[in-house]
Amino acid sequence: GAGVSQSPRYKVAKRGQDVALRCDPISGHVSLFWYQQALGQGPEFLTYFQNEAQLDKSGLPSDRFFAERPEGSVSTLKIQRTQQEDSAVYLCASSLAVVTGGPTEQYFGPGTRLTVT
């Protein structure tokens, strides 16, 4: 596709419900990142995939958060038993992840705004 897409764009969940957020990266991009952006804050790293391997999940705030990328393309971020503090915009980014030649650009999707009531 032309860019990173995310769905749904908006999600309202009642406290305690499970949610699943989808990210479609740019075709051919090896690396995929999830970030959480609370209101008025900068994005904060959640987790990172290289192809289907989850290489870094140090930013996941609790074991209620789970991410997967089973075929190395589409990724899903799942939040179980949502809490009010989970309300935020969840951003997905992808990149080519070329190791040599300098930093690679992360291309961001529009985000999913999650509101937990």
Partner 1 sequence: AQSVTQLGSHVSVSEGALVLLRCNYSSSVPPYLFWYVQYPNQGLQLLLKYTSAATLVKGINGFEAEFKKSETSFHLTKPSAHMSDAAEYFCAVSKTGFQKLVFGTGTRLLVSP
Binding residues for partner 1, rule: CB under 8 A, are 4, 31, 33, 35, 40-45, 48, 56, 59, 91, 93, 95, 97-99, 102-106, 108-111
CA atoms of 75 and 48, how far apart (whole Å)? 10
Residue 109: both structure tokens together: 């999707």
CA atoms of 57 and 35, how far apart (whole Å)? 11
Least CB distance to partner 1 at residue 79 (A): 19
Which residue type, as a one-letter code, is found at position 43?
Answer: P
Given the complex with partner 1, which of 19 and 46 has the nearer CB atom?
Answer: 46
Least CB distance to partner 1 at residue 115 (A): 14
